[in-house]
Amino acid sequence: MKVASLMYHQHPTVALVDPEQALFWPIASVDSRVPDEAACDMVKFIEWSCGRAIAPPISIGIGISEAFLCAPIAKTPHNILCVGKNYDAHAREFSRSGFDGSGAPVPEKPIIFTKPFSSINGPMSEVLVPVELSQSLDYEAELAVVIGKKGRFLRAEEAADHVWGYTVVNDITARDLQSAHKQWYLGKGIDGFCPMGPWIVTSDEFDFVNALVISRVNGEQRQSASVRDLIFDIPSLIATISRSMTLLPGDVIATGTPAGVGIGFTPPKFLRDGDEVECEVTGIGAIRNRVRFVSGWRASDQTHKITTSKGS
């Protein structure tokens, strides 16, 4: 199933969605067993639904344009867990760019960093960029894993049991800050710099083997790679991260971006005011975010703005 977080009649609503028909069904109308708190909060719904089968909706759906589409998870239990340099061709383009201070071009162990939940942004929302902050704004389309079941010291063979579903993120990055501060938190953790969505596809429905990660800027394709090209696959990422911390329902792991980011071009193709970035994972869907360069004062209004986009 595809599960979205919507604002519908001013209420946060967890809903099943059918993108082909552009319809949704509030989860409470689909399954009467869903507790009230899980009908309006994706993380609570994930906790409740783990191990439960949900029957397909039988009622008439509601047009998706009637609702505001939000990031599927507004606040992850941990920071958003991210993986650096996890596609070989991207690792090499990043190394060549001069912005990489993280060592060998292709890592021997997964590079794990995080973005704060305050960077989460809606799947169709504007990304407001403080004009004083960065002159080298870049995009990174990524497949993200959503954890369903709590776990620590997980073996790779156990990882699949802990995955609830998959979504799409754009790991937007201020390359100048990423380079200047060495650690990546300030360059990647800016408010609104993690558009997510448009929904979560549950793991039983996702064709992982054939999925492609794609990005387009103003309609021009920049990235396209198979998820099979990941250097460190999802089971090994889950095993690695869960050695250090207990993974919790609703945690999100962004698995890394393929080649074709702005700094991979000569000269670099940084994002400019008004550009629209589309990030897609086939079998899930696409998020589309327009970039706006504004004064820092105006950008500060964007703290955790997840409910600003209408429809899909």
Identify the residue whose tokens are 């000569």.
Answer: 266
Q: Does 178 bind Mg ion (CB under 5 A)?
A: no
What are the residues whose beta carbons fall under 8 Å from the beta carbon of 164, sequence distance 6 or more?
A: 46, 49, 50, 146, 147, 148, 149, 200, 202, 203, 249
Binding characters for Mg ion, 120-159, by CB under 5 A (x = yes): --------------------x-------------------
Residue 30 parent element (H or E): helix 27-30
Q: Does 257 bind Mg ion (CB under 5 A)?
A: yes
- Name the minimum Å distance from CB 3 to Mg ion: 24
- Name the minimum Å distance from CB 80 to Mg ion: 10
82/248 with CB nearer Mg ion: 82
DSSP 310: B
**CB-CB neighbours of 124 under 10 Å:** 21
- Could you tell me if 93 and 263 are in contact, meaning their C-beta atoms sit under 8 angstroms apart? yes
Q: Considering only 85-93, 175-183, 241-249, 255-263, which stretch makes contact with Mg ion by CB under 5 A?
A: 255-263
- Name the minimum Å distance from CB 295 to Mg ion: 27
79/257 with CB nearer Mg ion: 257
Joined together, the tokens standing for residue 25 give 């069904």
Binding characters for Mg ion, 154-173, by CB under 5 A (x = yes): -----------------x--
Residues in the chain: 312
Mapping DSSP to helix (H, G, I), strand (E, B) and coil, where does residue 116 land? coil
Q: Does 100 bind Mg ion (CB under 5 A)?
A: no
- Could you tell me if 169 and 289 are in contact, meaning their C-beta atoms sit under 8 angstroms apart? no
**Residue 228, φ and ψ in degrees, nearest 5:** -65, -15
- Name the minimum Å distance from CB 257 to Mg ion: 5
83/299 with CB nearer Mg ion: 83
- Name the minimum Å distance from CB 261 to Mg ion: 9
47/171 with CB nearer Mg ion: 171
Binding residues for Mg ion, rule: CB under 5 A, are 140, 171, 257
